[in-house]
A and B are shown apart, each in its own frame.
Chain A
Amino acid sequence: MREIQTDKIIEVVAKLCKDANYYLPQDVMDAFKDGLNKEESEVGKAIFHQLIENAEIAKQDEVPICQDTGFTVVFLELGQEVRIVGGELYEAIEEGVRQGYTEGYLRKSILKDPIRGENTGDNTPAVIYTDIVSGDKLKIIIAPKGGGSENMSEVWMGTPAAGAEGVKNFVVERVRKSGGNPCPPIVVGVGIGGTFDKCAQLAKRALLRPIGSDNKDPFYADMEKELLERINNLGIGPAGLGGRITALAVHIEVFPRHIATFPVAVNIQCHACRHKETII
């Protein structure tokens, strides 16, 4: 068994929280530049210029790309030959989030109770997903998720008869109804199959894929391409003010389904497509 100290985990999580919020991933920056070349609307081009400049300011001044520094979503891949020492794993994650959001001057957006409110003051608790994998490493992915784009997301319990066409129509309609609200140009995460909750998780996971990467199955890679074209034909454009580029990418992830069910989830990600990871 390889031992990993909780102190190390706290330090890594705190740094990842700050880095994820300050530094826009290179694949997203490249997608902005590509989008700027393809955009036909003058307003849309101006928005792309603003987004590129904004990311440069955030990086240089080490300030968040967006004031909504999100719900801290944490994906853990824990090798089964790892033993956590010095404390509890989840407590260490929460402490890392607490330190990162406080030291990093990141916004605290979490209310203690969904109805009665009251800010927790340190952006905890995080939403944590853990996969137990082979090996003796711990991979930590931090993906701060903003509220504006999360609000435009949806799970649809379709019927098996809906098929591929039903999925595509649901995804395109979800984006059309969202308009400028989720801060386009967006990344669209789609989960198909599994259960009600599983497909939502698949859609969220899909957002972690590098922009421009295709699903490994050519059937779904083609569906991604078709959906991206249909979404960009909606005309919503950067900031929703009209234009060619509404989405930077569509990522589909699938899972086997029950013979009676047909769950489809769309998780919309704003252009601040933030995530950072470290392997300990």
Chain B
Amino acid sequence: MAEIRISAPLSDEDIKKLNTGDKVLISGVVYTGRDSAHKRMVELLKQGKDLPVDLKGQIIYYVGPAPAKPGKPIGSAGPTTSYRMDPYTPELLSPGLKAMIGKGPRSKEVIESMKKHKAVYLGATGGAAALIAKSIKKAEVVAYEDLGPEAIRRLEVEDFPAIVVNDIHGNDLYEEGVKKYRR
């Protein structure tokens, strides 16, 4: 299993190097966004307005973190289930979003859209929230503060552990992994 270090902004060249099953360690900036923030961003795009953050080359992490204890940058912060973001994802891939981190499989439409726009889907371990929070060094709310845990945060991460689930060639780790162990 290859281990690859990546950081945003990501180019098409960076994305091409990633293959399903590769272990990645992410450093640098990652934005958070989940259900309500996705809904708002897609509404803005439909109205022809700018997004609150420029997504070109960026990574979105599907997470609603727990509140930070005093002296800590963030509370426990594991991934949420990604399929709930599927209806919105293709519209965020066209302005240049390059990677998403979450858990659970994506729809056919999202997988096709990732191939078209050269983007990848990365899996983080659901429920490993205290462990993942250790790799998050800084967090600040940059949009939609009223959404509480669902606000968009700008995270600075160091060696955030993830695994490539969908690469740009249409491979899917969930399908392949399960096939191997089904009896």
Contacts and interface: CB of A to CB of B under 8 A. Distances in A.
Interface residues of A, number: 49
Contact of B163 (A53, A107, A181, A241): A241
B181 A107 contact: no
A64 B103 contact: no
B81 A148 contact: yes
A64 B130 contact: yes
Given A66-B76, A239-B126, A109 B149 contact: yes
Nearest to A53: B131
B177 interface: yes
Interface residues of B, number: 45
B104 A234 contact: no
A194 interface: no
A148 B104 CA distance: 10
Interface stretch (B11-19, B63-71, B110-118, B152-160): B63-71
A66 B78 contact: yes
Contact of B127 (A54, A117, A147, A233): A54
B78 A235 contact: no
Interface in A214-240: 233-237, 239-240
A50 B125 contact: yes
A242 B130 contact: no
A273 to B, nearest CB: 10
Interface in A92-108: 105-108
A61 B131 CA distance: 11
Given A63-B133, A67-B64, A148-B126, A244 B148 contact: no
B76 A63 contact: yes
Interface in A33-77: 40-43, 47, 50-51, 53-55, 57-58, 61, 63-69
Contacts of B103: 148, 180-181, 183, 239-240
A57 B181 contact: no
Given A50-B125, A67-B129, A240-B104, A105 B174 contact: no
Interface of A: 40-43, 47, 50-51, 53-55, 57-58, 61, 63-69, 105-109, 117, 119, 121, 147-148, 151, 179-181, 183, 233-237, 239-244, 270-272
Given A66-B127, A180-B105, 13 more contacts: A67-B64, A107-B65, A107-B66, A109-B149, A147-B80, A148-B81, A148-B104, A181-B81, A181-B103, A234-B178, A234-B182, A239-B126, A242-B177
